[in-house]
Amino acid sequence: MVERCPDKTEVDGSIPSTLTKMEEEKNDLNTKGPWWKPGMQILSEVSTWIVVPIVLALIFGKMLDAYYGTRPVIFLVFTGVGFLVTCFGIWRVMKNYMQKLKNAENKDSQKN
């Protein structure tokens, strides 16, 4: 089947795209969301890893200390464990983010 392109030429098969490479990249960026979205996602993930383990450790450590009468012992142990969990979570988020950056860089270098 022969179709007519916008520039009045005839083509076998479907009509090729008339978008330039820059317009295609601009459309790709617009479909991924606003420019600040990845930064806010990383900020929220890291903030969650900071707040949740530490707060839970402090609450449960204080509660268990009051229940067992071991004043600062369980509280301090849970605080230390919460800190270690926080460090591990932030490390994992950053490792995944760095991997995504490397993959995106490799894709860009392969395109050019």
Q: pLDDT of the chain along its 112 residues, tens only?
A: 555 556 666 656 665 555 555 555 555 544 578 989 989 999 999 999 999 999 999 999 999 999 999 999 999 999 999 999 999 999 999 999 999 999 988 988 887 6
Domain region containing 78: 37-112
Question: In this structure, is residue 13 part of a structural domain?
Answer: no
50: left (phi > 0), else alpha (psi -120 to 50), else beta? alpha
Question: In this structure, is residue 59 part of a structural domain?
Answer: yes
CA distances from 7 to 11, 18, 19, 25, 110 (A): 11, 10, 13, 23, 31
Let me know: does 15 contact 5? Beta carbons within 8 Å. Answer: yes
Question: In this structure, is residue 64 part of a structural domain?
Answer: yes
Give the whole-angstrom CA distance, residue 22 versus residue 16.
16
Q: What is the pTM of this model?
A: 0.68
Structural domain count of the chain: 1
Question: In this structure, is residue 65 part of a structural domain?
Answer: yes
Question: In this structure, is residue 92 part of a structural domain?
Answer: yes
